Amino acid sequence: MGSSRLTSRRRQDNGFKWARIVMAALATVGLIDTGSITLKRWGIISAISCPGNSDGCDKVLNSAWGTLFQGEQYSIPLSLAGTIAYLLILCLTIIPFLPGFKDTKSSLSTRTWWGLFLISCGMTAFSLVLMLIMVSKIKAFCFFCVLSSFLSISLLILSLIGGSWDDLGKLFFRGFLLSLAVVLGGLIWSSTVDPYKSIALENSQGVPPNVINASSPRQIALATHLTKTGAVMYSAYWCPHCHDQKELFGHEASSKLKIVECAADGANNNRPLCEMKGIEGFPTWEINGKLDSGVKSLEELAELSAFKK
């Protein structure tokens, strides 16, 4: 009789209950993580505290790779896709526990384990692509991005352990095909939004590359303050560090800065002013009559210009 009860319970709930509970907890953390980023990008919440280097978080999250679609009136941040994925994971973990699904619990449990595995597998593959972009392209550290990658990998491992799979060959084959498709798709997407591909072409015309990153309200306010207080950024169209400095502000905010082109062959240049000021390196900031060269963090610029908000 004991054996019959065990078999009956096993058929009702395939896999391990504890794994579902842990996955639900991790999905909730991921939902808070990506949801907070999304709300910040939309300006619904003012700021989120980023452990470590806050400039790194801003640089990564506001980069060209941090946005799925950028319109004139609104944008769809990449973090929204993560929010949806974690929400799906959370729903799939708790559905078999709901009273209304008692009669179909066995088949529903099997289907939800497949859903959990495939979604977490895709999330892990794409998060690895994002980690590669963060290290090789953006060259900045974002705690929230690393956390999301860790959560995705953890969810995948738990789905492998908790599902009690009968056919591992079928499981890994499907997982491999999905991961390959996601990685290839992610690399193609990364290439299409890469803002640095057009730099060589734009440089040949004496024009600096376009700034791709989106601007937050605080970045816009800082740029406006710098211009109002007479701050000037001396730049050269071919200077990659100057482009990095503008990307820290984002497209809208950088357009509000007073930027002087110093390259003799640059479009709309003011080379005589740069020579009179003795500008030797780029970018160079002139704030309160003092020259300071090098890329500055937004916090440094706020402190140097006495910006408070």
What's the CATH number where 210 sits? 3.40.30.10
The per-residue pLDDT for 5 is: 35
CB of 37 closer than 8 Å to CB of 30: no
What is the pLDDT at residue 286?
Answer: 95
Residue 166 and residue 242 in one domain:
no
Place of tokens 């791709």: 212
How many other CB atoms sit within 10 Å of the CB of residue 16? Answer: 15
pLDDT tens, 170-209? 999 999 999 999 999 999 998 888 766 655 545 556 788 8
pLDDT reading at 3 higher than 60? no
- pLDDT, tens digit, for every residue of 52-94? 656 678 778 877 788 887 665 667 889 999 999 999 999 999 9
Residues 105 and 151 in one domain: yes
What residues have CB less than 8 Å from 42, skipping those under 6 apart?
75, 77
Same domain, 132 and 189: yes
- Residues 109, 13 contacting (CB under 8 angstroms): yes
Mean pLDDT of 265-282: 90
Q: Which domain-ending residue is among 144, 164, 193?
A: 193
Q: In this predicted model, what pLDDT tens digit does every residue of 134-167 receive, in sequence order? A: 998 887 888 999 999 999 999 999 999 998 898 8
Residue recorded with tokens 């384990």: 113
Whether the predicted pLDDT of 308 surpasses 90 = no
Measured at the CA of 164, the angle between CA 162 and CA 166, to 5 degrees, comes to 150
The torsion angle over the Cα atoms of residues 229, 230, 231 and 234, rounded to 10 degrees, is 170
Same domain, 6 and 59: yes
How many structural domains does the chain have?
2
With a CB cutoff of 8 Å and minimum separation 6, the contacts of 200 are none
For residues 126 and 78, the answer to whether their CB atoms sit within 8 Å is: no
Per-residue pLDDT tens digits for 198-252: 555 455 567 888 888 888 888 999 999 999 999 999 998 888 889 889 988 988 9
What per-residue confidence (pLDDT) applies to 305?
93
Tell me, what's the pLDDT at 196? 65
189 in the same domain as 56: yes
Domain ranges, residue 251: 200-304
DSSP notation for 80-149: HHHHHHHHHHHHHHHGGGSGGGSTTHHHHHHHHHHHHHHHHHHHHHHHHHHHHHIIIII----HHHHHHH
| Together in a domain, 19 and 138 | yes
Asked if 48 and 171 sit in the same domain, the reply is yes
One domain, residues 185 and 217? no
CATH code: domain of residue 134: 1.20.1440.130
Q: If pLDDT is split at 50, 70 and 90, which confidence band does 293 have? A: confident
When pLDDT is cut at 50, 70 and 90, the band that residue 169 belongs to is very high
The two three-digit tokens of residue 218, written as one number = 């605080």
> Could you give the CA distance from residue 113 to residue 283 in angstroms, rounded to a whole number?
53
Residue 97 lies in a domain: yes
What's residue 202's pLDDT?
Answer: 52
31 pLDDT more than 70: yes
Between CA 201 and CA 225 the distance in angstroms is 33
Residues near 89 by Cβ (< 8 Å), separated by ≥ 6? 23, 24, 27, 30, 116, 119, 120, 155
pLDDT the model gives residue 70: 65
What share of residues in the chain are helix, strand, coil (percent, to 5)?
65, 5, 30
Q: Is residue 309 part of a domain?
A: no
Same domain for 185 and 238: no
Query: Distance between CA atoms of 151 and 170, rounded to whole angstroms?
Result: 24
One domain for residues 111 and 154: yes
Do the beta carbons of residue 298 and residue 248 sit within 8 Å?
yes
Core vs surface per residue 190-203: b (16+ CB within 10 A) or e: beebebeeebeeeb
- Give the residue from 173, 193, 213 where a domain finishes: 193
- Evaluate if residue 285 carries a pLDDT over 90: yes
My answer on whether 129 and 275 are in the same domain is: no
Q: Which of 6-15, 39-48, 213-222, 286-295 has the lowest mean pLDDT?
A: 6-15
Find out whether 249 and 62 touch, Cβ atoms under 8 Å.
no
Q: What is the pLDDT of residue 235?
A: 93
Output the pTM of the full model.
Answer: 0.66
Under the banding of pLDDT at 50, 70 and 90, the label for residue 102 is: low
- CA dist 4 to 1, 11, 108, 295, Å? 5, 11, 21, 70
Domain end among 162, 193, 224: 193
Kindly state whether residues 118 and 43 are assigned to the same domain. yes
**Mean pLDDT over the full length of the chain:** 85
Give the rounded percent of residues in the chain with a pLDDT score beyond 90: 49
